[in-house]
Structure 1
Amino acid sequence: MVNGSLDEWLHPRVGTSAEREIILRQLGLLQRVNIATDVACALDYLHHQSETPIVHCDLKPSDVLIDGEMTGHVGDFGLVRFMPGATTELISELTSSIGVKGSLGYIAPGKRPTDDMFSDGLNLQFFAKAAFPERVLQIIDPVLLRETHDEDDDRDIRKTRRSHDRFLKIQECVVSIVEIGLACSSDVPSGRVSVRDVAAALQAIRKMLTGC
Structure 2
Amino acid sequence: MEFLDTPRKNDSFFHISTARKWFEKGREENLHTPLIYAAIEYRLACERVLFELYLFLKNPYEFDREEEKRNLKSTSGLISAIHRVFDNKGFLKLAQIFNQYYALLLTKGKVRIAIIDTGKLHSYWDHLSELCHMQIEPNQTWESKKWVENHYKKIEEIDDYLATIFNEDTTIGWVQLNSIPDQILEIRQDFMDLNIKEKPMKRRVKIAYNTLQGMEKLKKSIIRLT
Q: TM-score, normalised by structure 2?
A: 0.32
Name whichever structure is richer in helix by fraction: 2
Structure with larger Rg: 2
